[in-house]
A and B are shown apart, each in its own frame.
Chain A
Amino acid sequence: MIDARIGVIEERLKNVKRIIAVSSGKGGVGKSMVSAAIALTLAKKYKVGLLDLDFYGPSTHLIINANEKPVEKNGILPPIIDKIKFMSIIYFTEENPAPLKGKDIINAIIELLTITIWDELDFLIIDMPPGMGEEVMAIIKFMKNAEFIVVTTPSILSWETVKKLLIFLRENKCNVVGVIENMVMEKSIENEIKKISNYLGKIGFDENVENCIGEPSKLLESKFGKDVEKIAVKI
């Protein structure tokens, strides 16, 4: 028996030039903020999509203030928020928890990739959940050209876990664009990161970034947004 949905995923993504999964081994490193800010920055010049695959804790809709809903037309057309085509499980689960388990996660990803019509994009940025769960495996299986950006903080607790993700990605022949070091205060682990991966840059700790949630233009103008802008040109 063949899952009929799988054959169309490649078709759905054939006009997407680059797929970039923003990942981290650890939660709480600011991955969603980084994903959203990268998408917003790139959208100034390019056609950009943002897909939130963090089913347990979707949050990018809050960051970009995604109030518009998808439209049904020969599939699902993602709403355009601040020039970004946006899709998230939140459109189907709303404020409720989504306690999906292994194969449910894979099925939900297959369904979203089957029905979402992205059309032409220069970049599809994916906000991944923390860790090396089913979502990472699904990206490897269904989006063979996907590239990974890995986010860490300078904390040893974060970096030790992120290193494992980098090793896993390398051993599974995934293309890693590089590592972003987020929430940097005085201490940086730039040299440690450079030993095993490409270093995309650092984002300084910005105590005001919380005030930019829901206001994309304010986010881009913030210290955080300016640091992301410097990194985005290297992508």
Chain B
Amino acid sequence: MHEWALAEAVIKTAIEKAKEHKIKKINEIDLKIGEMQDIEMDIFKFALDELMKEYGMEVKVNITIQKTRLRCNVCNHEWNFDEFELTEEEKEFVHFLPESIFSYARCPKCGSQYFEIIEGRGVWIEAIRGNDD
């Protein structure tokens, strides 16, 4: 499951950033996940729990899913990810590599492939809270 790879990325990055900011014990992480990552939340949370056990951490992870907004560079139309009609296979590809959306989606208004992902991709750590002792 590639949710494991992303969960590992969160833990490794949080540990690294905590070190940089002299946080010895991480208590809480605020995480924002783009809708386009299409993460299986049960697997992702399970992976986070298992990895935290491995690293001897006990952290509350607050997860927010960020809706995807796209904007056409030709006609300026804005739309959401759920307005696409992608096949199951295409959804799977976007799940692994969100940027593959550019191969499958078109602006629903003018049909252009020249559009921007304004938000809704990636895995972002918004805040790390902890203490230094």
Instruction: Report which A residues bind B (CB closer than 8 A).
Output: 1-8, 11, 72-76, 89, 92-94, 96-101, 104-105, 107-108, 111-112, 114-115, 117
What residues of chain B have their CB less than 8 Å away from a CB belonging to chain A?
1-2, 4-6, 8-10, 12-17, 31-32, 93-94, 96-100, 102-104, 113-114, 116-117, 121-126
Partner of A72, one of B2, B9, B104, B125: B2
Closest B residue, CB atoms, query A107: B99
A1 touches B9 (CB 8 A): no
- Contact indicator B31/A99 (Cβ below 8 Å): no
With A72-B2, A98-B99 given, name 14 new contacts (CB 8 A): A2-B125, A4-B31, A5-B122, A6-B9, A93-B97, A93-B103, A96-B103, A98-B100, A100-B99, A100-B102, A101-B116, A104-B99, A108-B99, A114-B5
Q: How far is the CA of A186 from the CA of B93 in the complex (A)?
A: 47
Shortest Cβ-Cβ A-B pairs, 7 listed: A7-B13, A75-B5, A8-B9, A96-B103, A108-B99, A74-B4, A93-B103
**Nearest Cβ distance between residue B129 and chain A, in whole angstroms?**
14
A162–B88 Cα distance when bound, in Å, is 43
Q: How far is the CA of A104 from the CA of B6 in the complex (A)?
A: 18
Chain B residues lying within 8 Å of A107, measured Cβ to Cβ, are 98-99, 121-122
CA distance A104 to B117 in the complex (A): 8
Q: Check B97–A111 contact: CB distance below 8 A.
A: yes
| Dominant SS among interface residues on chain B | helix
B102 partner, pick from A4, A75, A98, A112, beta carbons under 8 A: A98
Could you tell me the distance in whole angstroms from the C-beta of B90 to the nearest C-beta in chain A? 9
Measured CB to CB, the nearest residue on chain B to A75 is B5
Measured between beta carbons, the chain A residues less than 8 angstroms from B10 are: 4
Interface centre among B31, B103, B116, by most chain A C-beta atoms within 10 angstroms, is B103
What residues of A have a CB within 8 angstroms of the CB of B117 in the complex?
104
The complex places the Cα of A5 from the Cα of B96 at a distance, in Å, of 13
